Amino acid sequence: MRVHLQRIVWIVGLLGLLALLPLALTEYYLGLVTRMMIYAVFAMSLDILLGYTGLPSLGHAAFFGVASYTVGIVSVKVTQNFGLVIASTVGVTIAISAVFGVLAIRASGAYFFMITLALAQVLWGVAFKWRALTGGDDGLPGVPRPSLGISFSLGSTTNFYVFVLVISVLVAAVLFLCVRSPFGLALKGIRESETRMRALGYNVRLHKYLAFIISGFFAGLAGMLFAYYNGFVSPSDLSIVLSAKVLLMVILGGAGTLFGPAVGAGLIVLLESLVSAQSERWLFILGSFYVAVALFAPQGIGGALKARLGTSVSL
């Protein structure tokens, strides 16, 4: 399972292109690509759970939103110290993943759907109602860009773009190594047959729990980046709509291909910005898109590519 030279060339080329984009694009489009990358991280995190372990979470926005809210609340009300913000965000995200994991992992199939959705909705409801802490449905504006303590200011679109680019690439690399590791293979095994995995001696429940936490952690990372990108946190960071959107990104890109969902994320973000510029009926179009993908492309782009290449060993 060596990575072929051809693939290395592709990857280097892509990275080079991304690195040079600030020279070619206006601020608006650069911001758009930044958002694409943030959602790519979000989508890849869900793929670990959905595509690799076979656990379809319908409430993944919970981790994204809890992180973005932590960033918002801490930066606006407590301290802007980047280190402290990160520490508290990581802490809260992992804590929520751990608790939700305990509640959700024992369920399977339809129950898992329902439970993940319901848990995310609980958080949404809390954010919506606890005005004193979260600003209620008005949200929390004025989240400042973090200062890294060096002369590289993240206030400018270009610099923030580079910041997000570096983090996204690191995340992609880490997740790539993770899914190609024995642990990643075990997750795929669980997706294919839990009973066989148990018979072989794997502690399936522990694996699932770890996958849940890892997935939640990276979703939280995306949420943190998003809070800084947006400068504003609101209940929509925890909404069903967002959970549904990231699910679509994964399926459209191809569940279980890791980079497919990243591409899917880019496409959906692009589509959303194009359509909402033209029409108010973005939700209707998004909904129709879901039905269309279900009817015509359930394997997604990545899945179709994999079928063409005829191997499961690629990613």
Partner 1 sequence: MNSQCLLVKRLNKKFAGLQAIRDLTLCVEAGERRAVIGPNGAGKTTLFNLISGTLLPSSGEIHIFGRDVTWLPPHRRAALGLARTFQITNLFPNLSLLENVLLAVQAMEGVNFSALYRGSACKRLETRSYELLDEWGMRAKAGELVRKLSYGDQRQVDLILALAGKPKLLLLDEPTAGLSPAETTVVTEAIRKLDHNITIVLVEHDMDVAFSLADHVSVFHLGSLLAEGSVSEIKHDPKVQEIYLGE
Partner 2 sequence: MTFWLQTFNGLSFAMLLFLLATGLSLIFGLMGIINLAHGSFYLLGAYVGLTIIHQTKSFLLAVVGAIVVVAAVGCIMHRFFLSRFYKNPLGQVLVTFGFLFIIADVAQWIWGGTPQALPKPSMFEESYRFGAAVVPSYRVLVIGVGLVIAIALWIFQEKTTLGAIIRAAVDDEEMTRGLGINVPFLFSAAFSLGAALAALGGVMGGPFVGVYPGVDFEILFYALVVVIIGGLGSLKGAFVGSLIVGLLDNFGKALFPEFSLFTIFAPMAIILVVKPTGLFGKG
Are 213 and 97 within 8 A, CB to CB? Answer: yes
Does residue 110 bind partner 2 (CB under 8 A)? yes
Give the torsion sign (CA, 300, 32, 125, 119): positive
At its nearest, how many Å lie between partner 2 and the CB of residue 7?
28
Which of partner 1, partner 2, none does residue 87 bind to, with CB < 5 to 8 Å depending on kind?
none
Query: Which stretch in 80-88, 171-179, 182-190, 248-256 sits in contact with partner 2 by CB under 8 A?
Result: 248-256
Measured CA to CA, the distance from residue 69 to residue 75 in angstroms comes to 10
Does residue 115 bind partner 2 (CB under 8 A)? yes
Alpha carbon 185 to chain centroid, angstroms: 21
Site string for partner 1, 273-312 (x = CB under 8 A): --------------------------------------xx
Does residue 251 bind partner 2 (CB under 8 A)? yes
Are 146 and 152 within 8 A, CB to CB? Answer: no
Site string for partner 2, 275-314 (x = CB under 8 A): ------x-xx-xxxxxx-xxx--x----------------
* H or E segment and range at residue 232: strand 232-233
Cβ nearer to partner 2, comparing 242 with 263: 242
Measured CA to CA, the distance from residue 194 to residue 184 in angstroms comes to 14
Cβ nearer to partner 1, comparing 140 with 250: 250
- Spatial CB neighbours of 47, under 8 Å, sequence gap ≥ 6: 250, 253, 255, 256, 257, 258, 260, 261
* H or E segment and range at residue 305: helix 300-309
At its nearest, how many Å lie between partner 2 and the CB of residue 107?
5
Please, what is the angle between helix 27-47 and helix 5-24, to 10°?
Answer: 140
Q: Which of residues 131-170 bind partner 2 (CB under 8 A)?
A: 131-132
Positions in the binding site for partner 2 (CB under 8 A) = 56, 58, 102-104, 106-107, 109-111, 113-115, 117-118, 121-122, 125-126, 129-132, 239-241, 244, 247-248, 251, 255, 281, 283-284, 286-291, 293-295, 298
